[in-house]
Structure 1
Amino acid sequence: MDDQEALQQTLNRARRALQILENQKAGYGIRVPVDLQIELEEKQKEVTSLEARLSQLQKKRPESVPDNLADYNHQSSTHQPPESQEKEVFISYTWRDNHSEPFVQQLEKAFQAKGITIIRDKNVVGYKQRFQKFMQRLSRGKCVIVVISDQYLKSENCMYELVEIAKKGNLYHRIFPIVLADAQIYQPIARIKYIEYWEKQIQDLNNAMKTVNAANLQGFREEIDLYTEIRNMFANLIKLLKDMNTLTQDIHIQSNFEALLKAIEETLDE
């Protein structure tokens, strides 16, 4: 068996595995587990890489590349987001405690010293502007620093941002988490407390809605749906976070955020 035949067999196996993952994803509807989404994205990259290698062996260009590549690149460039959008670095954190904000301010200064502007709600959401619009913009960001604290995990706005980032795909590569000391994500019993918290939010609001007439309750049903989505995705989101070496708050501060800066600069340059 020559190299081309061996590579073709490897590609066929990868395609079959990808098809299985895509079928599994379809079965979940809109609530795809984070680990499945990550596995699917990695398998897609593997298939693309194998296809390119096989095309090179066959001494022909990949089918996805048009013959008029120069013209295609020129035309496509007009549809690319502006450079400023490509270089955006967002941060998701809570206002609800007294230690996340000072930490974020230190982080912001370190990035400014390197010529990188951190985009956060306090700086860009002006009077009467809508937070929802900003949170959607953040969720599409190429680089999102996520400062995880106990209150972050209990904040509907923060968890909405994290859920939306996950739903946009490529979660592992787009988030740069920092887990603060009070975020209890490493012990299973402590993690269960957060799930209990969100289940209680669902139950309390549901019970409260039953005490009034069901007419004209716009927004309340959406709140329950959000709480439910957070509760349903919580375990998979935290499973990913606790498996990542996010370094401690002290390490980041003592190193002037060196590792974080390097990781983000590399991603921005991709």
Structure 2
Amino acid sequence: MTNLESGQRTSPFLSYCWDDLDMAYMLEALLAAKGVELIWDKRCLKLDDSISQFMSLGCDCSEVILLVSNSYLKSKSCMKEVLEVLNGSEPLQRIRPLILPSAQIFSPEGRAGYVQYWAGEYEHLQKEIRKIGRGAAAGSLNQDLVLLNQIYENADHFLSMLADRYSPTELLEFVEHFCAGRQQQGCISRPSYPLTAPGGISLRS
């Protein structure tokens, strides 16, 4: 059973972009068949729960699966989750990336494109804040500006780290590698909830 109250959670946390929701459901189903229950928003968030507090759970999980796509690398929310993990303990030992084909991280030009993207996002918001005055934007807008700057400053390090690691790019291969590692650690258990994909299709009996 997923334990959201304990200090360091043994169920893996899934960080993904909503554009890749179908892939996330497929990953969940394949892992569930192997006895692995995910901590992710579609199963754990309830009405009125804080999204930002939930996103910080990755810091406490022993493993964090990153479903890395082009959309993921251009999502402020996803990159905020990445920063949470990178600022936690032993991030290299806890991150389990699944690199989707759309993620252009294996060439210097591709990685530079993402760094440029976040530089542009920072500059754009900075200009918008200047239009309304810093006093009026002293709250959440300035916090967003700080976050964009942090993403920009850490983007190259994060992308280079992903590109340097051996990570399966096929879903089935990733699941096999991931579950083999967890079996060695004795972390396999049966999911505690019925699994359904979009449209109410049951993923297990």
Task: Please give the TM-score of this superposition, normalised by the length of structure 2.
Answer: 0.82
The 1:204/1:174 distance shift into structure 2, 3 A limit, reads: same
Out of 130, 134, 137, which is 1:214 matched to? 134
C-alpha deviation, 1:209, in angstroms: 0.8
Equivalent position of 2:16 in the other structure: 93
Equivalent position of 1:164 in the other structure: 84
Contact 1:143 1:267 in 2 (8 A): no
Pick the structure with more helix per residue: 1
Contact 1:93 1:158 in 2 (8 A): yes
Equivalent position of 1:138 in the other structure: 58
One-letter identity of the residue aligned with 2:15: S
Contact 2:59 2:89 in 1 (8 A): no
Equivalent position of 1:258 in the other structure: 176
2:117 pairs with 1:197? yes
Report the Cα distance in structure 1 between the residues aligned to 2:52 and 2:6, rounded to whole angstroms.
22
Report the Cα distance in structure 1 between the residues aligned to 2:167 and 2:39, rounded to whole angstroms.
20
Contact 1:91 1:120 in 2 (8 A): yes
2:31 pairs with 1:111? yes
**Higher alpha-carbon Rg:** 1
Report the Cα distance in structure 2 between the residues aligned to 1:256 and 1:171, rounded to whole angstroms.
19
Structure 2 counterparts to residues 19-58 of structure 1, below 5 A: none
Equivalent position of 1:20 in the other structure: none
Q: Tell me the alpha carbon deviations over residues 158-183 of structure 1, each in whole angstroms, 9 at most, x when there is no partner.
A: 00111110111311110110000000
Structure 1: which 4+ aligned runs deviate by more than 6 Å? none
2:45 pairs with 1:125? yes
Contact 1:143 1:268 in 2 (8 A): no
Out of 216, 233, 242, which is 2:154 matched to? 233
C-alpha deviation, 1:89, in angstroms: 1.2
Listed as ranges, the gaps of 5+ residues in structure 2 are 188-205
Name the structure, 1 or 2, with higher relative contact order (CA <8 Å, separation 6+).
Answer: 2
Report the Cα distance in structure 2 between the residues aligned to 1:257 and 1:152, rounded to whole angstroms.
20
Listed as ranges, the gaps of 5+ residues in structure 1 are 1-80
The 1:155/1:256 distance shift into structure 2, 3 A limit, reads: closer
Report the Cα distance in structure 1 between the residues aligned to 2:106 and 2:84, rounded to whole angstroms.
23
C-alpha deviation, 1:267, in angstroms: 4.9
Contact 1:177 1:241 in 2 (8 A): yes
One-letter identity of the residue aligned with 1:263: G
**Identity of counterpart residues, as a percentage?**
25
The 1:209/1:86 distance shift into structure 2, 3 A limit, reads: closer
Q: Tell me the alpha carbon deviations over residues 52-71 of structure 1, each in whole angstroms, 9 at most, x when there is no partner.
A: xxxxxxxxxxxxxxxxxxxx
C-alpha deviation, 1:238, in angstroms: 1.1
One-letter identity of the residue aligned with 1:239: S
CA-based RMSD of the aligned residues comes to 1.9
Q: Tell me the alpha carbon deviations over residues 2-37 of structure 1, each in whole angstroms, 9 at most, x when there is no partner.
A: xxxxxxxxxxxxxxxxxxxxxxxxxxxxxxxxxxxx
Report the Cα distance in structure 2 between the residues aligned to 1:233 and 1:88, rounded to whole angstroms.
27
Contact 2:168 2:174 in 1 (8 A): no
Task: Please give the TM-score of this superposition, normalised by the length of structure 1.
Answer: 0.63
Contact 1:160 1:226 in 2 (8 A): yes
Equivalent position of 2:193 in the other structure: none
C-alpha deviation, 1:263, in angstroms: 2.1
What secondary structure, in the 3-state scheme, does the structure 2 residue paired with 1:168 have?
A: coil
Give the number of equivalent residue pairs: 182
C-alpha deviation, 1:203, in angstroms: 0.6
